[in-house]
């Protein structure tokens, strides 16, 4: 892959982020209704959902268990898409990204290196970039340390 990370060395941890509509299905866009989840967890400001070792290169598999599109975004680094359900990527998806569209019932793998530190007091977020989804639970927090 042109411009790809050479010899990515994924850490043993492979985060699986499962993007699914929660109870109630579609969002009404009202704040805080907990209708969309990641790994069956709704956003909770008091919970650190993932911990990443600083300097690690990780492969994250992001699966969409629902019937809606979810543009998945995470903070603190850029990433490259490895594949969509094992299929090769079109040229426009081979650059550096900070958002990846995950289609209904699709699994996308991305690779990222985490060098920016983030502690429990100021964690990074990962979330769907549709405001009504993230505001209704589809967001999580992670540290890099
Ligand atoms: Cu979404």
Q: What is the CA(46)–ligand 1 centre distance, in A?
A: 22
What is residue 17's predicted lDDT score, i.e. its pLDDT? 60
Count: domains in the chain: 1
Could you tell me if residue 135 is inside a domain?
Answer: yes
CATH code for the domain of 77: 2.60.40.420
**Residue 138, C-beta contacts closer than 8 angstroms, at least 6 positions apart:** 19, 36, 37, 38, 43, 70, 127, 128, 130
**Residue 14, C-beta contacts closer than 8 angstroms, at least 6 positions apart:** 58, 59, 60, 61
Could you tell me if residue 121 is inside a domain?
Answer: yes
Q: What is the CA(53)–ligand 1 centre distance, in A?
A: 27
Could you tell me if residue 37 is inside a domain?
Answer: yes
Q: What is the CA(127)–ligand 1 centre distance, in A?
A: 8
Could you tell me if residue 61 is inside a domain?
Answer: yes
Q: What is the CA(134)–ligand 1 centre distance, in A?
A: 7
Give the range of the structural domain holding residue 85, as residue numbers without chain letter: 16-26+33-144
What is residue 6's predicted lDDT score, i.e. its pLDDT? 45
Q: What is the DSSP string of 24-42?
A: T-S--S-TT---EEETTB-
Q: What is the CA(70)–ligand 1 centre distance, in A?
A: 4
Smallest CA-to-CA distance from 131 within 44, 36, 19, 62 is with 36
Q: pLDDT tens digits, residue range 53-67? A: 999 999 999 999 888
6 is written with which tokens? 């050479």
Could you tell me if residue 2 is inside a domain?
Answer: no
What is residue 65's predicted lDDT score, i.e. its pLDDT? 87
Q: What is the CA(21)–ligand 1 centre distance, in A?
A: 9
Pairing of β 50-52 and β 139-144: parallel
DSSP state of 85: T
Q: What is the CA(36)–ligand 1 centre distance, in A?
A: 8
DSSP state of 90: P
What is residue 122's predicted lDDT score, i.e. its pLDDT? 97
Could you tell me if residue 7 is inside a domain?
Answer: no
Q: How far apart are the first and last CA of the chain?
A: 30
Q: What is the CA(132)–ligand 1 centre distance, in A?
A: 8
Could you tell me if residue 57 is inside a domain?
Answer: yes
pTM of the model: 0.80
Instruction: Compute the average pLDDT of residues 123-143.
Output: 93
CB 140 within 8 A of CB 39: yes
CB 82 within 8 A of CB 109: yes
């Amino acid at each position: 892959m042109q411009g790809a990370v050479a010899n990515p060395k994924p850490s043993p941890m492979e985060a699986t982020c499962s993007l699914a509509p929660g109870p109630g299905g579609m969002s009404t866009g009202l704040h805080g209704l907990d209708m969309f989840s990641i790994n069956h967890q709704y956003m909770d400001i008091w919970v650190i959902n993932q911990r990443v070792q600083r300097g690690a290169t990780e492969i994250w598999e992001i699966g969409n268990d629902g019937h809606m599109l979810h543009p998945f975004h995470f903070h603190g680094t850029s990433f490259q898409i490895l594949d969509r359900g094992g299929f090769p990527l079109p040229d426009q998806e081979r650059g550096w990204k900070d958002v990846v569209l995950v289609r209904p019932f699709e699994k996308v793998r991305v690779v990222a290196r985490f060098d920016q530190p983030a502690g429990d007091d100021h964690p990074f977020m990962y979330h769907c970039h549709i405001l009504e989804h993230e505001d209704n639970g589809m967001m999580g927090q992670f540290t890099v340390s």
